[in-house]
Structure 1
Amino acid sequence: MDFRLTEDQRALRRGVRELFARRFDREALREAVDAPAPALDRGLWRELGEAGFFALRLPEDEGGVGLGLPEAVLLFEEAGRALLPGPLVATHLAAGTVPGAAEGTVVVTAASEGLVPWLDEADAVSGDVTGAAPLRSVDPLTPLHRVARTDGHPAGEAVLLHAAEQVGSAGRTTGAAVAYAREREQFGQVIGGFQAVKHLCAGMLVRAELARAAVRAAAVTADPVEIAGAKLLADEAAVGNARDCLQVHGGMGFTWEADIHLHLKRAWVRARLGMTAERAEEAVAASL
C-alpha cells in the first residue's frame, strides 16, 4: 500500500500554506501577540470559509469540498505550523450543523476537558458552558474559560485534528532549529557541527515524523485507539520539539522577540484540549 500523499493532496497542502503565508505571516503573528487583548480576525475567518477550510468534508451537493479526514489532517497541520489562532477544530466540526460555520461567518467553540477556548469571541458553543469562568492562559493567542469537567469522551475527529495541529508545530520548530544551527557560529564554526546540537535536531526530527505518521495513519483508519496513540505522540512531539528548539537557539530563544516560546505555549494548551495524556493513556492501555 502506498502511503505517500497524492498530487491533489500535495496541492491542497501547498495552497493552504500559501494562504496562511499571505494572510497570517510572522508580522501578523507578532501584531496579534503584542495586541492589548487577543481578538479573532473575522476577515481571515471568512477567507478560510471561502477557501473551503471549514467545509472541506461536507458533500459537494451541500456546498462542501467533498474530501475526507486525511485531507483535513493536512490542513490542520498547516494551521499548527502557522500558529493560526482561533477555535478552528470546533468550527470545522460544526460545518453542516451550525448555519454560517462552513462559510466562516460564524465562529464556533466547544468545551473540551474542562476548557473552552475563545468563548467571548464565539457566536455558537458546543457543549455546556454553564458557569464558565475566565482562566489566565499561558498562550497569549488562546484565551480560555474553565467549566466543570464532564465525564463524556471527546469526539475522535476533534482529538485527531488537535493532534494534527501539534504535528504542524513540531515540524515548524524542527525546521527552525535546523536553520538556526546552520547559520549560528560559535568557536569558529556553525553550531550545527557540534555533536550535541546534531543529536537535539535528530531527536526532534524523529519525534515529528513519528507523530506525523501516527496522525495520518489514524486519519485513514479512524480507529479510536490509534487516534489516542496519535494524540499522545503529537503532544510529546510539539512540546518536546519546542523545548529543544529553545535549547538550540540558546539565550536568544528565551526572549519575547523569538517565536519559539509561542509554539511551546500553544503546545501546552493543545495538550489539554481534545484528549489529555491521561485519557489517551487509559484508552491505549485498555486496548492492550
Structure 2
Amino acid sequence: MDFQLSDDQLALRGGMREILEGRFGAGVLRAAADSSRVPSLDRALWRELGDAGFFSLRVPEEEGGVGLGLPEAVLAFEEAGRALLPGPLVATFLAARDVAGAARGVTVVTAVSGGLGGGLVPWLDEADVVRGDASGAVPLRSVDPLTPLHRVPGGGGEGNTGAEADLLIAAEQLGSAAKTCETAVRYARERTQFGQAIGAFQAVKHLCAQMLVRVEVARAAVYAAAVTGDVLEIAAAKLLADEAAVRGARDCLQVHGGMGFTWEADVHLHLKRAWVRAGLGQAAARAEEELAAAL
C-alpha cells in the first residue's frame, strides 16, 4: 500500500499552510494569546476558512462541498494544529452536513467531549450550536489562553466522542508536534554556547532526535488510521499523537533553556494546547484498555 501523498494532497496541505501563515501568523497568534484579553473567536477568519472549503472538505460535491475523504481532512487539521488555530474546529467540521451554516463558517458549533473527569466543552460562550447536553456547565480556568473551557458534570452525554473526532484531534496534535520539533532544531542551530551551536552538544542532539522519532511514528499512525478508519487504529493514533505533542513541546522548552519558559516564546502555547487536546475526545486510559483488550 502506497502512503505517499498525491500531488493533490500536497497541494491541499500547501494551500492550507499558506492561508494560515498569511491570516494567522506568529504576530496574530501572540496578540490572540495576550493574557490581558478574554479569548474571542475571530468570526471573519472562521468565514474565510468556510469560503476556502475547510469545513466542507468531506461534504459531497452534490451537496455543495469539496467531496474529499478522511485522509485529506487529516492533512488540513494537521496544518491547523501546526498554526495553533483556535476555536472548536473539530465540532464545526463534523457538523458541516447537518447544521445550517457550519460548512460555510457562518455557524460555530461546539460539542461536549468526554475528557478527563467529565465532559469538557471548548468555546461554549462563543458557539451558536452545542452538541451534547451542556446543562450545568461551569467555566474552568483553562491552562491554554486560546481555549476557554467549561466542564459538564457527569460527562454531558454524547457530543464529540466519536472515532473521527479523535482522529482529527490527533491530526492537530501531530501538526503541533512537528512544529515544535522544527522550532527546537532551528533554535539548536542558531543558539551558540562556548563558541559553537548548542546543536553540537550530545544532550541537545538526543532531545531533537527523540522528538523527530515521536513525530514520525505518530504521523505513520495518524495517516494509516485515516486510510483504514479502524477504531482501534484511531485510538492508537490518538495516544501516539498526544505523546508526541506533549513530550515534544516539553523537549522543545528544554532545548530553548530559560528562554523557552518566557511568555514571549511560542513554545509554551504548544504545550498548553497539547495538554488541553489530550483531555478532549476519548480518554487515554479508556483507549489503552480497548487496545489491550484487542491484543
TM norm. shorter chain > 0.5 = yes
Give 1:283's match in structure 2, choosing from 264, 287, 290: 290
The yes-or-no answer on 1:211 pairing with 2:218 is yes
Aligned to 2:20: 20
Q: TM-score, normalised by structure 2?
A: 0.96
Stretches of 4+ aligned residues off by more than 3 angstroms: 150-153
**Map of 1:79-118 to 2, 5 A cutoff?**
79-113=80-114, 114-118=119-123
Cα offset, 1:286, TM superposition: 1.6
RMSD across aligned positions (CA): 1.0
Residue aligning to 1:72: 73
Unaligned runs of 5+ in 1: none
Structure 1 CA distance, aligned partners of 2:203 and 2:245? 20
Please, which moves more after superposition, 32-41 or 102-111? Answer: 32-41
Q: Tell me, yes or no, if the aligned pair for 2:132 and 2:156 is still in contact at 8 Å.
A: no
Could you tell me whether the CA contact under 8 Å between 2:112 and 2:157 is conserved in 1?
Answer: no
**Within 1, Cα distance between the matches of 2:95 and 2:156?**
20
Q: What corresponds to 1:41 in structure 2?
A: 42
Q: Which residue of 1 aligns with 2:180?
A: 173
Distance in 2 of aligned mates of 1:229 and 1:157: 13
Amino acid at match of 1:188: G
Query: Aligned AA for 1:238?
Result: A
Identity of aligned residues (%): 73
The CA distance in 2 between the partners of 1:64 and 1:285, in whole Å, is 38
Aligned with 1:146: secondary structure?
strand
Pair 1:49–1:151, CA change in 2 (3 A): closer
CA distance in 2, matches of 1:67, 1:29: 29
1:201 equivalent in structure 2: 208
SS of 1:134's partner is strand
The CA deviation at 1:150 is: 5.0
Give the corresponding residue for 1:257.
264
Q: Distance in 1 between matches of 2:19 and 2:280?
A: 26
- Structure 2: runs of 5+ lacking an equivalent: none
Other structure's SS at 1:115 match: strand
Cα distance, 1:39 vs structure 2: 0.3
> Which amino acid is the alignment partner of residue 260 of structure 1?
V
SS of the residue corresponding to residue 113 of structure 2 reads coil
C-alpha distance in 1 between matches for 2:41 and 2:175: 21
Please tell me whether the aligned partners of residues 133 and 156 of structure 2 are also in contact (alpha carbons under 8 angstroms): no
Aligned-pair CA distance for 1:36: 1.2
**Residue 135 (structure 1) aligns with:** 140
Pick from 238, 244, 251 the counterpart of residue 244 of structure 1.
251
Residue aligning to 1:221: 228
| Paired letter, 1:121 | E
User: Are 2:123 and 2:147, in contact at CA under 8 Å, matched by a contact in 1?
Assistant: yes
CA displacement at 1:269 relative to structure 2? 0.2
Letter in 2 for 1:180: Y
Secondary structure of the structure 2 residue equivalent to 1:125: strand
Q: How far does residue 112 in structure 1 lie from its aligned partner after superposition?
A: 0.3
- CA–CA separation in structure 1 for the residues paired with 2:24 and 2:283: 28
Alpha-carbon distance between aligned partners in 1 of 2:249 and 2:94, rounded to the nearest angstrom: 28
Q: Distance in 1 between matches of 2:38 and 2:156?
A: 29
Structure-1-length-normalised TM-score = 0.99
SS in 1 for 2:101: coil
Distance 2:216 2:228 in 1: 18
Correspondence for 2:169: 162
Residue type at the aligned position of 1:165 = E
